[in-house]
């Protein structure tokens, strides 16, 4: 069995090891008009298999935080450590699902998913099997020869998911990936993500401004404040899964978070 | 609008490009048959076709131009081929690099934009002094003229590739070299294609310019030679042949690119 397929018991926090350390991360942007502090001493840790939502209003620096963890931006101070190695550049151990569609428009669904495997030395048949397996996991087997421009927004994000999951990243970084989808597709994608997470048990950092989405998905919600962006509190969501989006316990958590976001 | 069925559309796509050439031919025929323009200004279609037939299929020695086509076309193709290949070999990598590296872009900007403003024909006297009459002068002119569209479009294409695509590549563990060939070039493909097509088109223009200087063979040389001998029908034959070869070479270029690159096939 492949290591990433091993079922990690999700309730057992003690046995899972901490893999990601975010240590007093600050970021200041230099603008023409002066300095703009965007992030202020952000610290948290993630255990293997955690699903953490970073929730905040637009402009609180949550996307910047994700970009730093991804290695696209470097922090002004502080550091990101993954598996005891400091993060400096982007790499396949931390894969990003972007908000907009960044599939390669000249490659078919299948070729997009196989893209990251190309550099690896691997038997052709094994690779084809892998691609077929991930196509099936995101429910796109019938669409393998389509080009991205022929797909709906939800399907494009499924391809985006499959092409990074196939690389078996340690951490999946998701930057409001479902924000531009319609309500139905968004709910579908949330359910898909949860079922994939259950099967593959990746560590996921999920940035969103949508309270409902955060409560549906997360074990832990990091609530962010802006000017400068900082973590205001951490909310643990212990609702049983699958979560009932209309249940009173669910709505209570939402209500509380909404209130916290407002002031 | 009435929805047209696919067959009608396909037929239209096939014949629409030929409507204007056909009308021009009719106009030519009428003007020359009615005597509106005398034969010493505009040869009749029939005499032109005869001249063209002799030029292409005749045996050498049957007439002044009989059977020269293959030699002339071969010489011209070689010149265009070398000049254009030189322009691509320099312009394409340089353009792509300056699309990505602002230092190179700035370094090149004054020179490229100033030289671009100089009409290619201005180089002719200098080229004649440097290279003499013949092959080298023509190749120099062709390469110089084709360089600018190739370079400028490659730079624009490489510059406009969505940076998120490159980021996505980086996070999937794609290194620079592979990123260039697997992401940058396909992402810039439609621009690269435009540059190559414009470059090849202008190559034919400068080929004729280079050959007008008195080289013994080549399509441009035939035209110039025919003017001096008063064989106006041969001038028209030369023009039509250059038009035809130019069109075919453009299609071969497009077809070749589509054959070789997925991105040209799917994005072009």
**CATH code: domain of residue B170:** 1.10.3720.10
Q: In what order do the strands lie in the sheet with A230-236?
A: A94-97, A171-175, A203-208, A51-55, A220-225, A230-236
Predicted local confidence at residue A157, as pLDDT:
93
Which of A213-227, B13-27, B81-95 is modeled with the greatest confidence?
Answer: B81-95
What mean pLDDT is predicted for residues B114-136? 88
- The sign of the CA dihedral B219, B224, B230, B233 is positive
Share of chain B above pLDDT 90, in %: 63
In a domain, B59, yes or no: no
CA distance A183 to A186: 5
- Is residue B187 in a domain? yes
Tell whether the model's pLDDT for residue B188 goes beyond 60.
yes
> How many CB atoms sit inside 10 A of residue B191's CB?
22
Contact A226, A63 (CB under 8 A): no
Question: Which of A98, A104, A116 is opposite residue B173, by nearest beta carbon?
Answer: A116
Task: Give the pLDDT score at A3.
Answer: 44
Flag whether pLDDT at A164 surpasses 50: yes
pLDDT band at B134 (very low <50, low <70, confident <90, very high): confident
Which residue among A92, A106, A107 sits closest to B172, beta carbon to beta carbon?
A92
Return the structure tokens found at A175: 């930057």
In a domain, B248, yes or no: yes
B172/A71 touch (CB, cutoff 8 Å), yes or no: no
Partners of A163 on chain B (C-beta within 8 Å) are 172
Percent of chain B having pLDDT more than 70?
Answer: 98
Compute CA distances A253 → A220, A250, B158, B183, whole Å: 12, 5, 48, 44
What per-residue confidence (pLDDT) applies to A2? 44
Give residue A215's Cα distance to chain centre.
15
Region for A10 from its dihedrals, namely left if φ exceeds 0, alpha if ψ lies in -120 to 50, beta otherwise: alpha
B162 within some domain:
yes
- Whether B144 has its CB under 8 Å from any CB of chain A: the answer is no
Q: Does residue B144 lie within any of the structural domains?
A: yes
CB of A119 closer than 8 Å to CB of B178: yes
Q: Is the pLDDT of residue B165 over 70?
A: yes
8-state DSSP, B62: S
List CB contacts (< 8 A) between B172 and chain A: 92, 95, 115-116, 163-164, 167
The string of pLDDT tens digits covering residues B197-250 is 999 999 998 998 888 887 888 999 999 889 888 899 999 999 999 999 999 999
Q: What is the mean pLDDT of residues B187-192?
A: 94
Q: Inform me whether the pLDDT recorded for B96 exceeds 90.
A: yes
Give the pLDDT band (50/70/90) at residue A4. Answer: very low
Closest CA to A93 of A199, A224, A198, A3: A3
DSSP lists the bridge partners of residue A27 as A39
Nearest-CA distance from A94 to chain B in Å? Answer: 7
Q: Which domain holds residue B70?
A: 65-267
Structure tokens at B100: 């990505």
Helix, strand, or coil (residue A51)? strand
In a domain, B77, yes or no: yes
**How close, in Å, is residue B179 to chain A by CA atoms?**
11
pLDDT value of residue B82: 96
pLDDT at A260: 86
Q: Which two tokens stand for residue B69?
A: 């086509």
Residue B146 domain-assigned (yes or no): yes
Judging contacts by C-beta atoms under 8 Å, the chain A residues touching residue B260 are: none
Residue B195 lies in a domain: yes
Distance from CA of B264 to the nearest CA of A (A): 8
CB contact under 8 A, A107 and B170: no
pLDDT over 50 (residue A107)? yes
Tell whether A96 lies on the interface with B, counting CB pairs under 8 A. Answer: yes
Residue B152 has pLDDT above 80, yes or no: yes
Q: What is the pLDDT of residues A137-153, one digit of tens each?
A: 999 999 999 999 999 99
Quick one: pLDDT at residue B255? 94
Model pLDDT, residue A166:
93
* Residues B42-90 pLDDT 10s: 999 999 999 999 999 988 877 788 888 999 999 999 999 999 999 999 9
Lookup result for tokens 């994000």 = A157
Q: Do A164 and B182 touch (CB under 8 A)?
A: no
Beta bridge partners of A174: A97, A206
Q: Describe chain A by its helix, strand, coil percentages, rounded to 5.
A: 35, 25, 40
Domains and CATH numbers, chain A: 3-7+16-93+170-262 (3.40.50.300), 105-168 (no CATH)
List the 99-138 stretch of A: residues with Cβ below 8 A of B: 100, 102, 104-107, 115-116, 118-119
pLDDT digits (tens, 9 = 90+) for A172-213: 999 999 998 999 999 999 999 999 998 888 899 999 999 999
Residue A8: pLDDT band (50, 70, 90) is very low
Greatest Cα pair distance, chain A, in angstroms, is 56
- Residue A15: which pLDDT band, with cuts at 50, 70 and 90? low
Cis peptide leading into residue B77 (ω within 30°): no
The complex scores an ipTM of 0.84
Q: Chain A within 8 Å of B178 (Cβ-Cβ)? A: yes
* Gap from B115 CA to chain A (nearest CA, Å): 35
Strand A51-55 relative to strand A220-225, pairing: parallel
Mean pLDDT of chain B: 91
What pLDDT is recorded for position B268? 57
Mean pLDDT, residues A223-231: 87
- Angle among Cα B164, B165, B168 to the nearest 5 degrees reads 85
What is the domain count for chain B? 1
Q: Average the pLDDT over each of A48-52, B134-138, B144-148 and give the range with the smallest value.
A: B134-138
Q: For residues A30-69, b (16+ Cβ closer than 10 Å) or e, as one string?
A: eeeeeeeebbbebebebbbbbbbbbbbeeebbbbbbbbbb
Supply the pLDDT for residue A123: 85
- Minimal-distance CA residue of chain B relative to A117: B172
Flag if A91 and B182 touch (Cβ within 8 Å). no
């Amino acid at each position: 069995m492949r290591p990433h397929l091993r079922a990690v018991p999700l309730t057992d926090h003690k046995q899972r090891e901490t893999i990601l350390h975010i240590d007093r991360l600050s970021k200041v942007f230099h603008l023409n008009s002066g300095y703009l502090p965007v992030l202020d001493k952000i610290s948290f840790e993630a255990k293997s298999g955690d699903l953490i939502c970073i929730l905040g209003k637009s402009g609180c620096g949550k996307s910047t935080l994700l970009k730093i963890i991804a290695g696209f931006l470097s922090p002004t101070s502080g550091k990101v450590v993954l598996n005891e190695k400091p993060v400096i550049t982007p790499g396949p151990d931390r894969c990003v699902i972007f908000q907009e569609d960044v599939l390669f428009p000249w490659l078919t669904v299948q070729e997009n998913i196989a893209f990251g495997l190309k550099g690896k030395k691997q038997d052709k048949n094994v690779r084809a099997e892998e691609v077929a397996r991930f196509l099936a996991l995101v429910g796109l087997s019938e669409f393998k020869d389509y080009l991205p421009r022929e797909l709906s927004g939800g399907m494009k994000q499924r391809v985006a998911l499959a092409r990074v999951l196939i690389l078996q990243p340690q951490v999946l970084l998701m930057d409001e990936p479902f924000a531009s989808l319609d309500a139905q597709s968004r709910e579908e994608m949330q359910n898909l993500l949860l079922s994939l997470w259950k099967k593959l048990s990746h560590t996921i950092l999920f940035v969103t401004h949508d309270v409902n989405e955060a409560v549906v998905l997360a074990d832990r919600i990091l609530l962010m404040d802006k000017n400068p962006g900082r973590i205001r509190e951490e909310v643990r969501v212990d609702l049983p899964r699958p979560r009932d989006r209309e249940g009173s316990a669910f709505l209570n958590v939402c209500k509380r978070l909404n209130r916290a976001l407002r002031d | 609008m009435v929805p047209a069925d696919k067959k009608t559309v396909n037929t239209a796509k096939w014949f629409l490009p030929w409507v204007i050439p056909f009308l021009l031919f009719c106009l030519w025929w009428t003007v020359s048959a009615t005597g509106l323009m005398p034969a010493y200004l505009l040869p009749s279609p029939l005499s032109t076709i005869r001249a063209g037939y002799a030029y292409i299929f005749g045996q050498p020695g049957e007439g002044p131009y009989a059977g020269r086509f293959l030699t002339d076309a071969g010489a011209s193709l070689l010149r265009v081929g070398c000049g254009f290949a030189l322009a691509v070999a320099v312009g394409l990598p340089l353009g792509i690099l300056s699309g990505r590296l602002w230092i190179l872009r700035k370094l090149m900007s004054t020179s490229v934009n100033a030289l671009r403003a100089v009409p290619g024909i201005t180089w002719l006297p200098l080229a004649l002094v440097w290279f003499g009459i013949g092959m080298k002068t023509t190749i120099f002119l062709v390469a110089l003229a084709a360089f600018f569209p190739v370079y400028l479009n490659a730079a624009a294409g490489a510059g406009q590739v969505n940076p998120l695509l490159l980021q996505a590549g980086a996070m999937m563990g794609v290194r620079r070299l592979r990123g260039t060939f697997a992401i940058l070039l396909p992402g810039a493909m439609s621009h690269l294609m435009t540059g190559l097509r414009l470059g090849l088109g202008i190559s034919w223009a400068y080929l004729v310019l280079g050959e007008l200087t008195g080289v013994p063979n080549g399509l441009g040389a035939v035209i110039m030679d025919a003017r001096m001998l008063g064989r106006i029908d041969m001038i028209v034959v030369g023009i039509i042949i250059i038009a035809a070869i130019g069109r075919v070479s453009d299609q071969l270029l497009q077809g070749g690119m589509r054959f070789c690159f997925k991105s040209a096939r799917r994005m072009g």
